[in-house]
Every structure is written in C-alpha cells, then in structure tokens.
Chains A and B, each alone.
Chain A
Amino acid sequence: MAERTKQSGRTTEPILWLLFSAGGVAAALFLPILIFIFGLAVPLGWVAPGSNHLQGVLANPLTLLVLFGLCVLSLFHWAQRFRYTLIDGLKLKGYQRLINMGCYTVAVIGSLTVAVVLWLAR
C-alpha cells in the first residue's frame, strides 16, 4: 500500500491517514456511548429501550447514514492501527505488504457487509 505508483509518484498513504483520522474522531465521539448503552446498560437491565422504538430510530435515513459513516470510517481506523501494531509491535516488517493487504481487505469487506446490513435494515 505504501508503494508509490510509478508514473505519478503519488501514494495512497495520505488517503489512508485521512480515513484513519476521520475514523478516530468518529469512533471517539460515538462508540463509547453506544457500547455503554447497548453493551452494558441494556444487558444489565439499567435501561430497556423498546424494540419498536429502536426500529423507529433505525427507520430514519439519517440514523442509517450516520451508522454507515461511523462503521466504515471505524473499520479503516482499525486497519491503519492494526497494521502498525502487527508491523511494529510484533516486528513483522518483512511481511508489511501482506499485512497491509490483509488489513485493508478486511476493512473493505467489512464496509460492504455494513452496507448490506444497513440496507436490509431500512
């Protein structure tokens, strides 16, 4: 991924860093409260939002749009951090290309899955 394309001398790195930062902001703003509510407060019985109400929230196109942006950007944020965690943390610099390909393939497939799940949830 880090390779320069031969003719233009451009790299995809700036775009990947942009997605990383945008994902970092989105994840920081939205994920703590969402996991707090649905991962802890609901299962532990502190709050109990009704299923019909939640369906109503999901029926709003704005909700779907925000969830789509949040999830896709978060996945690209994950890909950037995870590839560096593997490359630097586990000293796998020799496998850099493979790791980059793997991480961004997961991010792309994950994004397509998110799109399908949200499309079916309309």
Chain B
Amino acid sequence: MTTGPGDFTERAGDQAYHVRPYRPPVNLLWWLRRRTYLFFVLRELSCLAVAWAVLFLMLLVRAVSEGGDVYAHFVTWARMPWIVVLNVVAFAFLMLHAITWFNLTPAATVVRLRGQRVPPAVIAGSAYAGWVVVSALVAWIVLRQ
C-alpha cells in the first residue's frame, strides 16, 4: 500500500487500520479566488523582499568597506533601471510587511498594567511610534554630515 502525507494508523482492539483522511482537491491557484487569500499570499511573499534586502545590504556593506571607488561602483550598479524597479517593489513589500506586522502586535502581545489590559490601540500605536523613532534614528546616523 502506498502512504501519503497525513496518513495515520488507527488501532481498534488488536487490529491496526491504515487510515487516509479524505482531502477534497484544492486548485493550485486557490489564492486567486478571494481578495483576502491574495492579500495573505502577498503578505507571505513579503519574505522574499526581506531576503533581497539582506543581500542588498551585505553588498552595500562590502562596497563601503572596500573604499570610495567600490562604493561609487555599487551606487552606479544600484542606479540600473531593473535594480531600481526591484527596490521599488521590495520597498512596497517591506512596507506591507511592516504595516501588517505592527497591526498584529496587539493580538500577539497582551500587556497588563495594574490589573488592567492595555488597550490594543495603545500597543499598536506604540509599535508605530517605535517604527518612526527607529527610522528617524537610522536616517540621522546615515545622513548626518
């Protein structure tokens, strides 16, 4: 007998039965059927933008550490239209990731203060405030002359 994922063995008395639960067939394009499904898949795909960002940052770090010429060469490379387009798309996905992530913070974090539950809006608000502070700090460190 062939076995598939999700199969299990059920025992009744001293008999063992091989059980294969019925799973209705799902179309490979199930995520196109509803807007919420599509949104879910887009949110999950934001992980590719995260991976690209890490790669891009490492190329940047290497270029900066190797000196002015290599850094100038990196900037010229990053100016190529397809890299700019890639970064525009990546930035949009990173924003999608950040916004959906911070919106979920109140669901994942329950904070109690003097026995009272801190309202979800306050937790989400703090997350967004933290985001603004970190972004401003990064921009200041990179751009101050």
Contacts and interface: CB of A to CB of B under 8 A. Distances in A.
Contacts of A50: 145
A90 B45 CA distance: 12
B48 A78 contact: yes
A96 B56 CA distance: 29
A37 B57 contact: no
Interface centre among B44, B64, B78, by most A CB within 10 Å?
Answer: B64
A61 interface: no
Contacts of A39: 53, 56, 78, 83-84, 87, 90-91
Contact of A40 (B57, B71, B91, B130): B91
B8 interface: no
Interface residues of A, number: 57
Nearest to B66: A121
A9 interface: no
A42 B78 contact: yes
B141 interface: yes
Interface residues of B, number: 56
B50 A96 contact: no
A28 B53 contact: no
B134 to A, nearest CB: 5
A64 to B, nearest CB: 9
A41 to B, nearest CB: 9
A49 B143 contact: yes
Contact of B84 (A23, A44, A113, A114): A44
Interface of A: 21, 23-25, 27-40, 42-44, 47, 49-55, 57-58, 63, 67, 71, 74-75, 77-78, 80-82, 84-85, 89-91, 93-94, 96, 110, 113-114, 117-118, 120-122
15 contacts: A28-B131, A29-B131, A30-B134, A31-B50, A35-B91, A38-B78, A39-B53, A43-B75, A57-B141, A74-B54, A75-B54, A78-B50, A78-B54, A93-B6, A121-B62
Interface of B: 4-6, 26, 28, 31, 41, 44-51, 53-54, 56-58, 60-62, 64-65, 67-68, 71-72, 75, 78-79, 83-84, 87-88, 90-91, 94-95, 97-98, 101-102, 108, 130-131, 134-135, 138-139, 141-145
**What 9 A-B pairs have minimum CB-CB distances, sorted nearest first?**
A39-B87, A81-B47, A121-B65, A28-B98, A33-B135, A51-B68, A43-B78, A28-B101, A78-B51
